[in-house]
Structure 1
């Protein structure tokens, strides 16, 4: 019996795709990104330096970006002015913090629940309701201020925290954003959870909300920014219920002599929104990269 010769199969060479990018090209891209980063950071850097400038540096022309003789006089003058008010500074801060926290949490909960129903359940009029939400995005808040005031007056909520908090629960941007994200959640995943005996609330809280975490973190950034800077002077009249932005704006009514105090006010009002943005931004990028599940 003749032995059969084994035929060696030719080995297939793995083709590696090489990126045609030179070191000079990478340097050019990084240089452009650095330029835009510095351009966007310039207002923040200028505001921080202006808050610590004495008055003679604030009125210099041409203005200087960097402070030459840093001082805390602007902040000291601000606290002196606020201490002369019959309502303590801490009361204004509590009013703003309460409105911001409760309004943000309520807005995320209401928007998420409504978006879950619109995205995963079909009922008569659901499409028309979502079109109504999209139409509401076209209107500025000033357009609906009079109807909003009339409704709040009938409910007896004028001159209360709820006059600012409750209307923000139904902001159309949150519902639109959450629905668009929840439509990307696989229906197969929800059906598997129902087969395992999970209730609707369990599916919503333990499956859907973690997947759409980038959406409600982004929504939190917008809500904190809008509510923290809300003066609420239209619907809140009592001085002990007024917000911090309103009180600080009254301090600035003194004119040019309070330009340094105004710089300190601008920095104080930026601290909270910027801090929330920095913390949430890292989480948004992380969850967008790790929780992208497709059907």
Structure 2
């Protein structure tokens, strides 16, 4: 018997090319990480260092005074910090969960079933992605006002359910799921809900993890000031930005506010990074 020797194919690059490539990637990584590094460093600077010129990137005498001052200021508000936090967490959790469920169910039908108006409906969803929130703000407000949802949590939560981005993302990913897998499950006696919950959703986990990140980022950073007027229903981001706009004396607290606002989306992204990369790698594959 003759054995075939398979040689590992070497990339057509020189050592100098590899070094240049890694240097370029490190440069890009630094440029992308610099805003986060600078924001954290600024939050750790005492007030005198924040006004130094030329500004220093890193804090020379790091301190947590900005964060402690921020929580003291929040504690003096007649609406407690925990109330603002509850409002934001409730809106983010319910809005994300509803958006995930509705977008996944709608995407499953659009991706794996043929019915009259299927393609037309998806084209409408695609067109809807072209309109920013500034364009739809007035129609949204009029509709929510007619429904009596102004100054309630639902003014933020319900529109989040209908975000076209989630439906588009899930539909594109589900199209790559083999139809034979679904048909085999139905032959074995699985109903539609079983197919959806136990076969489809576990196989598109990278897509819905990516959807969760986008949804959390949008809802967590939503000031909701257009639709919510009662102070006890306002979000944490709105309260923190009110502190941030308090003048020069609160510059340090403003730097701390920026870190508090961005920390949750960044942590969710870090823990779900592999799922996002898998979504990008698999979104173009078809059955």
User: TM bucket by the smaller chain?
Assistant: over 0.9
TM-score, normalized by length of structure 1? 0.91
Taking the aligned partners of 1:118 and 1:239, their CA distance within structure 2 comes to 41
Taking the aligned partners of 1:79 and 1:134, their CA distance within structure 2 comes to 43
Matching of residue 90 in structure 1 with residue 82 in structure 2: yes
1:146 matched residue in structure 2: 138
Deviation at 1:291, TM superposition (A): 11
1:5 matched residue in structure 2: none
Deviation string 1:172-191 (CA, Å, 9 cap, x unpaired) is: 01111111011111111111
Deviation string 1:151-188 (CA, Å, 9 cap, x unpaired) is: 11122111111110011100001111111011111111
Taking the aligned partners of 2:6 and 2:272, their CA distance within structure 1 comes to 41
Matching of residue 200 in structure 1 with residue 192 in structure 2: yes
1:76-225 → structure 2 map (5 Å cutoff): 76-225=68-217
Preserved contact between residue 211 and residue 291 of structure 1 (Cα < 8 Å): no
Preserved contact between residue 222 and residue 237 of structure 2 (Cα < 8 Å): yes
Taking the aligned partners of 1:60 and 1:17, their CA distance within structure 2 comes to 56
1:243 matched residue in structure 2: 235
2:266 matched residue in structure 1: 274
1:58-69 → structure 2 map (5 Å cutoff): 58-69=50-61
Going from structure 1 to structure 2, the CA distance change for 1:12 and 1:76 (only over 3 Å counts) comes to: closer
2:5 matched residue in structure 1: 14
What is the root-mean-square deviation of aligned Cα atoms in Å?
A: 2.0
* Higher Cα Rg, which structure: 1
TM-score, normalized by length of structure 2? 0.94
Taking the aligned partners of 1:254 and 1:287, their CA distance within structure 2 comes to 42
Matching of residue 45 in structure 1 with residue 37 in structure 2: yes
How many residues are matched?
286
Taking the aligned partners of 1:17 and 1:76, their CA distance within structure 2 comes to 58
For structure 1, the residue ranges without an aligned partner over 5 or more in a row are 1-8
1:4 matched residue in structure 2: none
Taking the aligned partners of 1:140 and 1:272, their CA distance within structure 2 comes to 24
Deviation at 1:252, TM superposition (A): 1.9
Preserved contact between residue 114 and residue 175 of structure 1 (Cα < 8 Å): yes
Of stretches 229-238 and 14-23 in structure 1, the one that deviates more from structure 2 is 14-23
Taking the aligned partners of 1:286 and 1:48, their CA distance within structure 2 comes to 29
Taking the aligned partners of 1:18 and 1:150, their CA distance within structure 2 comes to 62
Q: Secondary structure at the match of 2:30?
A: helix
Taking the aligned partners of 1:294 and 1:66, their CA distance within structure 2 comes to 48
Preserved contact between residue 186 and residue 293 of structure 1 (Cα < 8 Å): no
Taking the aligned partners of 2:176 and 2:193, their CA distance within structure 1 comes to 19
Taking the aligned partners of 1:203 and 1:84, their CA distance within structure 2 comes to 52
Q: Secondary structure at the match of 1:142?
A: helix
Taking the aligned partners of 1:17 and 1:117, their CA distance within structure 2 comes to 44
Q: Secondary structure at the match of 2:134?
A: coil
Taking the aligned partners of 2:280 and 2:195, their CA distance within structure 1 comes to 20
Going from structure 1 to structure 2, the CA distance change for 1:258 and 1:165 (only over 3 Å counts) comes to: same
Deviation string 1:19-63 (CA, Å, 9 cap, x unpaired) is: 144433322222221111111111111111100101111111111
